[in-house]
Structure formats: C-alpha cells, structure tokens
C-alpha cells in the first residue's frame, strides 16, 4: 500500500489548545463571511430558503493559543435549517460552551424576498430586502434584527416653491430593533413603506407608474419627516425595546445624499417611556 497511513485522531496534536505566554486576550476571533444555505421564517409561506453570509466569533482567553475553527461551522450546520433570533441565541450559548469562551458573537446577513403586487394592475414580482440577524453575549446579551427598505421620497420644499412638478428620489431606510417578543420582518417593511412618499416595486405597468408618480406627489416627505414617522410607529410596538433608524436618500438634484439617524431605548422612568 502506497502513501502514508492515516493517523488516529486521538493521537493528533491539538495545537490550538496549547498555552500562549504573551498574555494577550483576543477580543474576537473566528470565521467571517461564510456563504451557507439557511432557512428563515416567512409570514406568508412559513419558511423561506436563502443564502446567508455568516460571521461567528468568540473571545479568546490570553492563555489559549488559538480557537477551533471547525467547531464554528459544525454549530452552524446544526442550526441552519431554521435561523431565527431564538436559534441565534442557542448558537451563542453553544459557541461559549464548546469553545470555552466567556463571550460570543453571531451575525447572519441574507437577502429576503417578498412577493408584491403592483398597485393598479396587480402584476406580481419579488422584492428583495437585505436583512441581518445578530447577537452577542457579554456584559449584556444583545439580539438584533435589521432590515434595509428601499423607498421613494418627494421633496416638500420643491413641491411648495415650484409651479409644477417636484424632485423625487430613491432612498433607503435601515431599521434595527431589539425585541422582547415576536415581530415579523414583513411588519417592519410595511411600516417603513407606509411612511414614505411611495413604495418601490419590482414590476410596474403604465397604469401603475401613473399611480406611484401621483401618490409620491401627494405625499411629500423630508428625510426628517420619514425618520420621525418611522420612529413614531416603532414606539407604538410593545415588543420593541430599542430601535435605531437611518434614512439616506440619493438626491436627484444635489451633489450629496441627505441623511438622518434616530435611536431610542424603552425606559418607563421617562415621561415619554423612551430615552
């Protein structure tokens, strides 16, 4: 028989577990940007299959030379058939346990698709939204859901001062929430779209184009308006403990983008209930 005989696993050296004498703990070490098939919850269909870009990290104690990279992928493989905030929490606990760490972090970025009907003709098309599920342990555990929603905005000032017409543009609203209960991803998308001048669609016929043009013209909003309206809606959701909203519009007549950011955390000791 040619070649080397396979070594018995029990006899192989575990280099990563050796002691390191430099006395430097590493904040985060692990795997990043791993492409992996995942299944996520879908309000309309129960489940949706997509592809995630996964980051899994742990804190490395100062006395340990390295971490065991294969264990990250093994843990992901055990959970990829249902990726939720709950399953991410379980992954974090397993990372700490199986890698002997006091702190862990998981981030899963993926495209999520919702079937939308055009407002007049009912033409159907898929709209894609960039989503992130993230969690970390440590001094305070944090579980977060983030979604980016494309929208149309029309400038109130432009409409007010012009004899006819007004400039509009495509924008993106990024919503990050920490939850104490269930909130469908679709609910966040719908909430944002209601606050914009008009929704964005993947398929539009001429009657639909007429509708969205006129709808945007009838509902002008500044970046500040959109930001405050989305925040006001989120404040009414009991399951939201914290949120951060970003709005950026790609201005059609300016050599810059317009941008706004607002974040609040629920605090029952404050008159507004938020701080």
Domain 141-275 = CATH 3.10.270.10: yes
Answer CATH for 18-133 from 3.30.70.1230, 3.20.20.140, 3.10.20.740, 3.10.270.10: 3.10.270.10
What pLDDT, in 10s, does the model give residues 264-273?
999 999 999 9
Q: What is the pTM of this model?
A: 0.91
Q: In the chain, where are the structural domains located? A: 18-133, 141-275
Q: What is the pLDDT of residue 11?
A: 79
Q: Give the H/E segment covering residue 40.
A: strand 26-42
What pLDDT, in 10s, does the model give residues 61-76?
999 998 999 999 999 9
Average pLDDT, the chain: 94
Q: Give the H/E segment covering residue 151.
A: strand 142-154
- The two domains 18-133 and 141-275 share their CATH topology (first three levels equal): yes
Cβ atoms of residues 188 and 177 within 8 Å: yes
What pLDDT, in 10s, does the model give residues 58-113?
999 999 998 999 999 999 999 999 999 999 999 999 999 999 999 999 999 999 99
What pLDDT, in 10s, does the model give residues 222-233?
999 999 999 999
Short-list 132, 128, 158, 168, CA closest to 249 = 168
**Helices and strands: H and E segment counts in the chain:** 6, 9
Helix axes 185-195, 223-235, angle to 10 degrees: 140
Q: What is the pLDDT of residue 3?
A: 58
At residue 41, the 3 state secondary structure works out as strand
Q: Residue holding tokens 């969690």?
A: 135
Cβ atoms of residues 10 and 56 within 8 Å: no
> Cβ of 194: how many Cβ atoms within 10 Å?
12
The tens place of each residue's pLDDT in the chain, 275 residues long, gives 455 655 555 678 787 778 888 989 999 999 999 999 999 999 999 999 999 999 999 999 999 998 999 999 999 999 999 999 999 999 999 999 999 999 999 999 999 999 999 999 999 999 999 999 999 998 677 899 999 999 999 999 999 999 999 999 999 999 999 999 999 999 999 999 999 999 999 999 999 999 999 999 999 999 999 999 999 999 999 999 999 999 999 999 999 999 999 999 999 999 999 99
């Amino acid at each position: 028989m040619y070649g080397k005989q396979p070594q018995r696993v029990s006899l192989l050296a575990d280099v990563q577990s050796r002691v390191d004498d430099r006395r430097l703990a590493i904040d985060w070490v692990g795997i990043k940007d791993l492409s992996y098939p995942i299944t996520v919850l879908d309000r309309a269909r129960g489940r949706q299959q997509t592809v995630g870009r996964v980051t899994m990290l742990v804190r490395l104690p100062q006395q340990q030379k390295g971490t065991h990279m294969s264990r990250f992928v093994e843990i992901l493989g055990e959970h990829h058939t249902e990726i939720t905030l709950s399953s991410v929490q379980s992954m974090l606990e397993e990372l700490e346990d199986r890698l002997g760490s006091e702190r862990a972090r998981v981030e899963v970025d993926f495209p999520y698709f919702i079937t939308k009907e055009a407002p007049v003709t009912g033409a159907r098309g898929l709209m894609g939204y960039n989503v992130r599920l993230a969690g970390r342990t440590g001094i305070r555990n944090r579980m977060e859901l983030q979604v980016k929603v494309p929208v149309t905005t029309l400038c109130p000032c432009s409409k007010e001062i012009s004899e006819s017409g007004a400039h509009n543009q495509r924008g993106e609203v990024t919503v990050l929430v920490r939850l104490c209960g269930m909130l469908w991803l679709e609910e966040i998308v719908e909430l944002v779209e209601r606050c914009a001048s008009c929704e964005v669609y993947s398929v539009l016929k001429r009657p639909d184009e007429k509708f969205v043009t006129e709808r945007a013209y009838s509902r002008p909003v500044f970046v500040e308006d959109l930001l405050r309206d989305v925040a006001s809606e989120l404040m009414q959701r009991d399951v939201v403990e914290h949120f951060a909203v970003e709005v950026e519009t790609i201005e059609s007549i300016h050599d810059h983008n317009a941008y706004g950011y607002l974040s609040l955390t629920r605090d029952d000791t404050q008159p507004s209930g938020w701080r």
